[in-house]
Every structure is written in structure tokens, then in C-alpha cells.
Amino acid sequence: MTTITRLATIAALTLCAALPAHAEQDPPITIDTHVDIPFTYMREARFDVGKPTPLLVDLGKMERGGLNAAFFVIWVPQHKLDAAGYAKAVEQAEQKYDAIGRMLMQYPDRIRLATTPEQLLANHKAGLLSATIEIENGYSLGHDIRRLDAAFDRGARSIGLAHVGNNDLCTSSLPDTEHGEPAMNSAGDTGMSDFGRAVVKRANQLGMLVDISHSSDACVREALKLSTAPIYASHSGARAALDHPRNLPDDLLRAIAAKGGVVDAVAYKEFLKKDPAREAAEKKLQAAIAKQSGHKEYDSDRDDYLPAMDKGMAEIQQKYPLATLDDYMNQIQHMVKVAGIDHVGIASDFDGGGGITGWANASETRNVTAALHKRGFSDTDIAKLWGGNLLRVWREVERDAQH
């Protein structure tokens, strides 16, 4: 039995801890469906999340900000579709499964695994945080469908089909056009592969959420036709509100809603505000930091938390301010108008590039709730956005499972 499987059993136990004190305006539960972790998570002292860290999400920030649950991400970068690439992806995914297991084993009195909506709610009732495991980039399955079952056994409850660059499941919303991959929605954009179809089918049987964030429009359309359960986007936006390939067009927002799914609006700068000058300044800083460290290329895990990076980003922020909570609320309001209040959720993409002025880290989570109130959303609406909609979809995915 793996570490995370053992923790799934622990998480199902009835817990007797006292409920935490919450502000009256807090919704019943707050769930962030996309939080990244570095490869050295819980291995390096600076990434021990039971203590103060430079990460945007650690246990203290979650507790102070009223963020009750997070989907922690098993992300791997996209490499070649060959044996060496698959082996590397499997190895990198293993590091992250182990890291999440370390967190849960080390701090069981603060955070527990949630592999069902009921476990997540029980943890909350007991005054505990919840961690759910989400796969970002199905490439980490190593082109072996059996690894989806293994991931489910380890606690994963969401499978993201793609990331940046086309993989063996489907085409990406951001293909590697510099190296010959066809542009999204071009004649060469083939959408989903036979392996991708097998993954969606097996995910339905297991009761895993099918996550179409990062997938091409063609892949999303095929997932909608193929999936027997509602699908969701763990961290996406609205293309009509800001024209970016990672944001979904209105017709797909409507189609996901019509199938009963949910799209979680993401607080990611480039999907909320066009600022090419800031993008250029950040790339220049990243290159300079890598060079200072004696490396040819920038690496986010290695470079993002250096003092020189903090200083440089503060200077960039002064000159080119980030997107704000108002920008984020504009996205959410558009998505609710198009898809309906029952089909929109909330995600940060913290520690994966997310973070905006007003919601810069998990300790500022209540600012999102306040901003929603200011825009006229009712307590009932806010409860749906913060977790109710996601839990409903998750239950429907479980209900339709055949395993």
C-alpha cells in the first residue's frame, strides 16, 4: 500500500477536532482547484509547507486566508513522445506524488487527503485542510493506460489531458509552433488521439474528473462528445473577455455547462490582462537570473525564490502592475453570464504563475469573497463559485463511475 493510499484510509476516519473560527462572510467551503508544487516540495527546508515558506500556498497561508481545500498538481513538462520522454515524465510525476505524501504524513493534524467530496467536507467539519491530487498533463502516464488506475489508487481524482505543447493524448491550446507543431484550429490540429480517447473512457469508469484546461478547442469538443460524465476546466478563463488561446470561447463555455460541467476561472495574469511589456521584462529578468546562477536556461523551481528574483519582480511590478481583482471579477462575471452561476468555479494557479493584485497568495483568499460580494453575488452564489459547483460535478462523476 502506498503512502497516499494509506492516507486515504486515514482521511475517511471520523475526526473530532474543533471547528476553526471563521469570519461570518466566509462561504461554507472554499476550494482552489489548481495549486502547483515544485519538484523539491517537502524535501528542501524552504518548501516545508508546515512552516512559513516563500511559496504562495503553504498551510499557514491557507489557514489564515480561509482557503479550506486545494487540488495539488502532479505537473510534468512536455518532452518528446518517445520511450526516454515517457520514462522521464513518469519519474518526475513520482517525485510529486511522493512530495504530497510527505506533506500529508508530516502534518496529519492540519491537512488530510480528500478522495471524495464527503471526505473533503468531513475534513472541513473537523477543522482540517484538504488536499486533493490532480494530474496536469496526461503525458506523465507514460503512454500506458494502466498508470491511470495506479494514479487513482494513489489518490488522484482529476486527469488533465494536456499542457503546453501537443502530447500523446491530444493537441494543446499552446502547441510548440516554433518546432513545427500546427497552430490550434489549423488544418493540422487533429484534436484527440486514440490514447486520449482511452484515457477519457477509463477516467469515466474510475470516477476521475476529466480536466480540459490547456487542451485545444478540438480536443475539448471531442471530450464533450466522448465523456459520459460532466467535464471540467480546472483553471481557465473566457476568450471573449480576453483573447488568449488558454481561455475558452463562449460556445465551449456553454457546451461544458450544457453537459453539467464547471469551468474554474483562474487568477492568472496573462489570461486577465494583456501586458506585452511586462512579459518581455519578466523574460529578460529570468534570463539574467539564470545567467547569474551559471545556467543556460531559466528554471522556475531553481530561480523563482532567489532574493534577486524577488527584487527584480518587485521592480517590474512597480512599472507594469499585475492584473487586479477587478480584472478577475470581470472574467468571472462574463463566465457566469455565459455559462450560468451553476457552472463556474475559482482557481488560483498559485506557484504555477498565478497570483494577482488583491489575491497574491493563499492568505488573501478572503479578498476574493469580498470582491464577489462587491460585484453583487449573493451568499448562495458565492458558495457555488467557491466549491459547491465543483462538488456537485465531482459527485456526478463518481455516480457515473463503473469501477
Confidence of residue 15 (pLDDT cuts 50, 70, 90): very low
Q: What is the mean pLDDT of residues 163-170?
A: 98
Query: Quick one: pLDDT at residue 43?
Result: 97
Given a cut of 80, whether residue 138 has pLDDT beyond it is yes
Average pLDDT, the chain: 93
**Which range is least confidently modeled, 33-42, 116-125, 273-282?**
273-282
Confidence of residue 299 (pLDDT cuts 50, 70, 90): confident
Question: How far apart are alpha carbons 286 and 300 in whole angstroms?
Answer: 9
Query: Quick one: pLDDT at residue 243?
Result: 97
Given a cut of 80, whether residue 2 has pLDDT beyond it is no
CATH topology of domain 3-273+323-399: TIM Barrel (3.20.20)
The domain limits of the chain are: 3-273+323-399, 277-321
Question: How far apart are alpha carbons 213 and 237 in whole angstroms?
Answer: 9
Q: 78-110: per-residue pLDDT in tens?
A: 999 999 999 999 999 999 999 999 999 999 999
Q: What is the mean pLDDT of residues 270-281?
A: 94
Query: Quick one: pLDDT at residue 20?
Result: 37
Query: Quick one: pLDDT at residue 372?
Result: 98
Q: Where are the alpha helices (DSSP H) in 189-242?
A: 194-206, 217-226
276-287: buried (b, 16+ CB within 10 Å) or exposed (e) per residue? eebeebbeebbe
Spatial CA neighbour of 343 closest among 392, 396, 380: 392
Q: What is the mean pLDDT of residues 139-154?
A: 98
H/E run at residue 42: none
Query: Quick one: pLDDT at residue 109?
Result: 98
Given a cut of 60, whether residue 353 has pLDDT beyond it is yes
Query: Quick one: pLDDT at residue 159?
Result: 98
Q: What is the mean pLDDT of residues 318-327?
A: 96
**Which range is least confidently modeled, 32-41, 200-209, 313-322?**
313-322
Q: 238-273: per-residue pLDDT in tens?
A: 999 999 999 999 999 999 999 999 999 999 999 999
Q: Would you list the DSSP string of 161-193?
A: --BSB--SSB-BSS--GGGTPPPTTSTT---B-
Place of cell 495549486: 35
Place of cell 490582462: 273
Query: Quick one: pLDDT at residue 304?
Result: 87
Query: Quick one: pLDDT at residue 37?
Result: 98
Query: Quick one: pLDDT at residue 25?
Result: 63
Query: Quick one: pLDDT at residue 306?
Result: 87
